[in-house]
């Protein structure tokens, strides 16, 4: 079948959602730790220098085999190439607007800013520790939250010993800040 008569999902090439990451706030900055910036830059370079050339080579080889409409290597390769290109565009945009903020600059401070590791207790006495990081670098399983998350917004600028109010779907919850830590400079 002629490619002109096949239908591909609309917006597939222009969808720069970055894999389900939340959008940045309007007019907001894309804060990142130095380690997060390095990780995204490494991923971008790996995609450009290694993965994309391999897939291009596979697609070129598959295209030389003839009938492309039933060629799985060609079809999968083209799809994977679109995914890689989409991720490259996303990473390039995010890195272009990145504002690298080194949390070690606040080492020794008891006030909460970007990059802080905060231990807090809720009204039931349950303790939890979180680290405030950039949108593109958080790992929720490791106790990291984005600086635009409701918990981070509630905690920012508070100090050890302060009580803050977090608005939750179940109503307002009072949290007590128990400890604030930052990495040592040079770590």
pTM, two decimals, is 0.76
Q: Output the CA angle 12-18-150, nearest 5 degrees.
A: 135
C-beta separation of 178 from 121 below 8 A: yes
pLDDT (0 to 100) of residue 9: 47
pLDDT > 70 in the chain, percent: 84
pLDDT (0 to 100) of residue 181: 95
- Model pLDDT for residues 48-77, shown as the tens digit of each residue: 999 999 999 988 888 888 777 777 888 899
Pairwise CA distance, residues 19 & 91, whole Å: 11
Question: Which residue's entry shows tokens 């989409």?
Answer: 86
Print burial letters for 69-93: b (CB count within 10 Å at least 16), e (below 16): eebeebeebbebbeebebbbebbee
Band of residue 28 on the pLDDT scale cut at 50, 70, 90: low
Mean pLDDT for 92-111 is: 92
Please count the residues of the chain.
187
DSSP 16-47: --TTTPPPPPTT--EEE-HHHHHHHHHHHHHI
- Model pLDDT for residues 33-52, shown as the tens digit of each residue: 999 999 999 999 999 999 99
Band of residue 19 on the pLDDT scale cut at 50, 70, 90: low
* Structural domains of the chain, ranges and CATH numbers in brackets: 29-100 (1.10.287.180), 103-181 (3.10.50.30)
pLDDT (0 to 100) of residue 14: 44
Pairwise CA distance, residues 90 & 172, whole Å: 36
């Amino acid at each position: 079948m002629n490619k002109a008569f096949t239908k591909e999902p609309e917006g597939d090439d222009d969808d720069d959602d970055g894999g389900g990451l939340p959008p940045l706030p309007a007019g907001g900055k894309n804060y990142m730790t130095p380690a997060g910036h390095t990780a995204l830059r490494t991923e971008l370079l790996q995609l450009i220098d290694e993965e994309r050339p391999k897939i291009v080579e596979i697609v070129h080889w598959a295209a030389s085999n003839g009938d492309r409409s039933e060629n799985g290597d060609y079809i999968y390769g083209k799809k994977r190439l679109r995914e890689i290109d989409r991720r490259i565009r996303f990473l390039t945009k995010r890195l272009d607007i990145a504002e690298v903020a080194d949390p070690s600059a606040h080492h020794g401070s008891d006030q909460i800013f970007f990059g802080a590791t905060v231990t807090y207790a809720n009204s039931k006495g349950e303790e939890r520790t979180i680290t405030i990081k950039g949108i593109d670098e958080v790992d929720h399983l490791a106790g990291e939250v984005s600086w635009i998350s409701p918990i981070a917004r509630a905690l920012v600028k508070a100090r050890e010993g302060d009580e803050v109010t977090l608005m939750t779907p179940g109503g307002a919850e009072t949290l007590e800040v128990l400890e604030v830590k930052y990495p040592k400079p040079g770590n």
